[in-house]
Amino acid sequence: MSSKQEVATAVDKDDKIIARNIRRVYQIKRQPNEEATEFEAIKHLDLTVKQGEFLAIVGPSGCGKSTFLDMIAGLAQPSSGEIFMDGKLITGPALDRGIVMQGYALFPWRTVRKNVEFGLEIKKVPQKDRKEISQQYIELVGLKNFEDRYPHELSGGMKQRVAIARALAYDPEVLLMDEPFAAVDAQTREVLQEELLRIWEKTKKTIVFVTHGIDEAVFLADRVAVMTAHPGTIKEIVTINLPRPRDGIRSSADFGWVRHKIWELLQNEHFSATKKKSPEQNVAEAISSSAAL
Ligand SMILES: Nc1ncnc2c1ncn2[C@@H]1O[C@H](COP(=O)(O)OP(=O)(O)OP(=O)(O)O)[C@@H](O)[C@H]1O
């Protein structure tokens, strides 16, 4: 065993991912000869994601959502604290976690089929099986007959579908999605959200989904984790008790109520962040305290 605890103790069998007391500090250096200063991006973050759960994370810009997702992916390490998957410490990226980022990140020189087959090649799946599996996922995301197209011949929504099919094809247990639909128009986004729910219900994956969209989070998730402004931590977890399937639910009163609750949590966070950071506020406070002397 390393100095870090490699196996989480007292794990509930339904706990898929456990993040414990995560802190992430960046070293900032403005000039090469300047001494680095520390920037604390995430502080005291605890979160458990259940097996098969759809968990969305929302929070003010710069609060550390992507940093946290990168740490679950194993692409970055916490400065302190641990993240476990199935009770085992995450120490790096692995094929048990699929990642879908904003901006698609497809290989431009590969066709749709070859993009979807990428993870299967790494997994050394035989070519005949690769073709069968990739076809299954291409069809699942509605791209039948586009197998031989290159990314530049596809719309934004289609590229995002390829990215989802590529992440699903090698059968990861967890799908990590970082604002995956941010680059597409509002109507395509709603279509992709509905398709993602259909795929999630079919594949039973655990999904952690970072978004700026409150509507998107409420529409998709079982629970929404609301983060504080920098340094980021979990402010509150809101359980979304809306019935599934959720087609047509956006116009319901219950949807509006829970949406408003999350909006208020974020609004309060925005105010406290502005208060913390605003130079005008600091000047005003300095003036009033000197007037009081
Ligand atoms: N490599 C880095 N070096 C220094 N600071 C960084 C680095 N990466 C991220 N940060 C800082 O860490 C904080 C969290 O960044 P992160 O991208 O995780 O936030 P976010 O919540 O995903 O933001 P957004 O919603 O705007 O995408 C930000 O203040 C950012 O400036």
CATH code (residue 223): 3.40.50.300
Asked, for residue 208, whether it belongs to a domain, the answer is yes
Structural domain contains residue 15:
no
Domain count along the chain: 1
Pick from 66, 216, 276 the residue to mutate for probing ligand 1's pocket: most ligand atoms within 8 Å of its CB.
66
Q: Which atom of ligand 1 is nearest to the CA of 179?
A: 27
User: How would you write the pLDDT of the chain (293 residues) with one tens digit per residue?
Assistant: 444 556 666 568 899 999 999 999 999 988 888 888 999 999 999 999 999 999 999 999 999 999 999 999 999 999 999 999 999 999 999 989 998 987 668 999 999 999 999 999 998 999 999 999 999 999 988 899 999 999 999 998 899 899 999 988 988 999 999 998 887 888 888 988 998 998 899 888 999 999 999 999 999 999 999 999 989 999 999 999 999 999 899 999 999 999 999 999 999 887 777 766 555 544 444 443 333 33
Report the chain's terminal Cα–Cα distance, integer Å. Answer: 59
Index of the ligand 1 atom closest to the CA of residue 69 = 18
Pocket test for ligand 1, best of 24, 26, 71, 176 (most atoms within 8 A of CB): 26
Question: Is 6 inside a domain boundary?
Answer: no
- Is residue 25 in some structural domain? no
Q: Is 61 in the pocket of ligand 1 (CB under 6 A)?
A: yes
> How many percent of the chain have pLDDT more than 90?
67
Domain contains 87: no
Any domain includes 29: no
Question: Range of 254's domain?
Answer: 53-77+94-292
- Give the integer Cα–Cα distance in Å for 251 and 142: 26
Closest atom of ligand 1 to CA, residue 59:
21
User: Does a structural domain hold residue 182?
Assistant: yes
Global confidence as pTM: 0.88
Decide: 65 in ligand 1 pocket, CB within 6 A.
yes
E strand intervals along 139-290: 174-178, 206-210, 223-227, 234-239
Question: Which residues are CB-neighbours of 85 under 8 A, at least 6 positions away?
Answer: 16, 17, 72, 96, 97, 173, 174
Tell me the pLDDT tens digit for each residue of 17-37. 999 999 999 999 888 888 889
Pocket lining: 64 vs ligand 1, CB cutoff 6 Å? yes
CB 47 within 8 A of CB 113: no
Residue 97: per-residue pLDDT = 94
Q: Is residue 261 part of a domain?
A: yes
- How far is CA 109 from each of CA 82, 112, 113, 128, 284, rounded to the nearest angstrom? 38, 10, 11, 21, 56
**DSSP labels, 145-176:** T-TT--GGGS-HHHHHHHHHHHHHHT--SEEE
